[in-house]
Structure 1
Amino acid sequence: MVMPQIKEAVNVPDMPQSDNAVVARGISKTYGEVEALRDLSLEFPRGQLTSLLGPSGCGKTTLLKIIAGLLKPNSGEIEVNGKPVKGPGPDRAFVFQDFALMPWANVLRNVAFGLELRGVATSEREAIAEKYIAEVGLAGFEKSYPHQLSGGMRQRVGLARALSVDADVLLMDEPFSAVDEQTRRKFQEDLLNLVQHENKTFIFVTHSIEEAVYVSDQIAILLPRPSRVSEIIRPTDLRHKNVDNIRRDPEYLDIVDSIWASLRSYVE
């Protein structure tokens, strides 16, 4: 097993077990003869955003789906709030890369759909959906349909749907990859605001080093297949700075350069 190195911008105490919302222990996963994950262990601090970063095909999405309960590992265990994961559950919500909206349903119905599946009364679920529609900046679009929205707006609908079910853990699979750069930057700022105010644990898959450093409390760098955690970086000091200044901060630039140095040799 490869023990991950931990780098921090400032010294902080080790995170006690009780402060981890999600724990992955010894996770291995194969697809036929392809070994995607090998004995991977990682802790996800409660109320923080952890990014999974690494070269293409290194198992980031596989790990995310195992945490979601959508895939079963060949060995190892996932715990959420101290309980083993046996399948999907209400304590986790998934934000998909391709939006995964119902084209025949309007924004309000799409956002409320998870609550509808749980049997929440119409008036209650619509009130909750309207709250999160407004929170992600889509107030006034409740009756619009997905084909009437831009890609960025559709992704906001997916995020509002995940927030509306009030899961403890939000799993985000490259949620901003399909939008333009300007929209992506606005999403990143909004995500920082959500992490600060929603008191949820975010697990975020991205290919972008800059994005990971900008939004993360913790960055787990994964090795190529079979994937293990090679390094954990906590850009602690950046979380206390104004979002407008982070990208110009020397610490931000140094961390980006350091991660690129770690990953350069794995890029083909």
Structure 2
Amino acid sequence: MSMQQTAAVLDRSQTDAAVAVRGVTKIYEGNVKALENMTLDFPRGQLTSLLGPSGCGKTTLLKIIAGLIPATGGEVLVNGRAVKGPGRDRAFVFQDFALMPWATVLRNVGFGLELRGVPQSEREAVSERYIKAVGLSGFEQSFPHQLSGGMRQRVGLARALAVDADVLLMDEPFSAVDEQNRRKFQEDMLALVEQEKKTFIFVTHSIEEAVYVSDKVAVLLPRPSRVSEVIEPKIDRSVSPDAMRRDPDYLDTVERIWTALRTYVE
């Protein structure tokens, strides 16, 4: 391949990747190496899950992409621009909801827009749209303490969607809800990825969840974390949720990932 052809391939790869992680290393105090030379692309408009053993650096990588903590080495590019800190092109959905207890659902969802100085009428219209999108219509004037854990998580998701970031970073967003709500969230997530055309980066401990919701699953090795492999589940998403969960390709992919991770589970 000529130098010109190689350059064209690289340019195309950068264009297709909304987020590009390039040789990222993270060393914490005490010489604890969480990530080592991590390189990974996150395709635009798709959902990619980060999956691996506990403590393997999934959340660390997510926070580096968000600009919440710095990398020790390497770089992260979002839409071709190096990450130097938090930015409007990324929104974070926290595991613990991180809602303002004194604010209504409507204000919580619109808070990011409020910080940007968006007029009240405009931000409330946007907030109402995403409150409906996550299935919370009728709860606009409720406060977080009046909601279930699953409903509070939906508020956090709606808030992230409302700021219209290109990339949504989700740190185990469904871990605090019961199994029934978790399955419903997974089904809703597929619809949101299709509707919003945004890039989702999704941290989970659940192999089944990762395979069900993801266009790609990045399997990470134990600390210091590197990418073991990237798997693209080949599931027919035109069928019903129940049929998807019985799909032989779904079941085979779950088993393939479990086999790869089994030796790292204590």
TM over 0.5: yes
8 A Cα contact 2:211 2:233, kept in partner:
yes
1:175-211 CA distance string (max 9 Å, x none) = 0000000000000000000011101000000000000
- SS of equivalent residue, structure 2 residue 107: helix
Contact 2:109–2:155 (Cα < 8 Å) also in 1: yes
Over aligned residues, Cα RMSD in angstroms?
Answer: 1.0
Cα distance, 1:198–1:256 mapped onto 2, change above 3 Å: same
Looking at structure 2, the residues matched to 258 and 233 of structure 1 have their Cα atoms a distance apart, in angstroms, of 10
| Alignment equivalent of 2:158, drawn from 144, 157, 160 | 160
1:21 and 2:21 aligned = no
The Cα shift of 1:18 comes to 1.2
TM-score if structure 2 supplies the norm length? 0.94
User: Paired residue for 1:30?
Assistant: 27
The answer to whether structure 1 residue 243 and structure 2 residue 221 are counterparts is: no
Distance between the aligned counterparts of 1:243 and 1:18, measured in 2? 32
Q: CA deviation at 1:241?
A: 4.2
Q: Are the equivalent residues in 2 in contact too, given 1:23–1:44 (CA < 8 A)?
A: yes
Q: Percent identity?
A: 74
Size of the aligned set, in residue pairs, is 254
Look up the SS of the partner of 1:55 in the other structure: coil
CA distance in 2, matches of 1:225, 1:140: 45
**Cα deviations by residue, 1:15-66 (Å, 9 ceiling, x for unpaired):** 8331110000000001112100000000000000000000000000000000
For residue 132 of structure 2, the aligned residue among 131, 134, 140 is 134
Mapped to 2, the partners of 1:139 and 1:224 lie a distance apart of 42
Equivalent residue letter for 1:166:
D
Conserved 8 A contact 2:235-2:247: no
**In 2, Cα distance between the equivalents of 1:54 and 1:246?**
23
**CA deviation map 1:112-134 (0-9, x unaligned):** 00000011001100110011001
- In structure 2, stretches of 5+ residues that fail to align are 1-11
Where relative contact order (Cα < 8 A, 6+ residues apart) is larger, the structure is 1
Structure 2 partner of 1:4: none
What pairs with 1:1-268 in structure 2 (closer than 5 Å)?
Answer: 16-32=13-29, 33-268=31-266
Residues 238, 252 of structure 1: 8 Å contact kept: no
Deviates more, 1:106-115 or 1:229-238: 229-238
Give the distance between the partners of 1:217 and 1:170, measured in 2 at CA. Answer: 15
Return closer, same or farther for 1:136/1:259 CA change in 2, 3 Å cut-off. same
Segment drifting more, 197-206 vs 244-253:
244-253
Unaligned segments of structure 1, at least 5 residues: 1-14
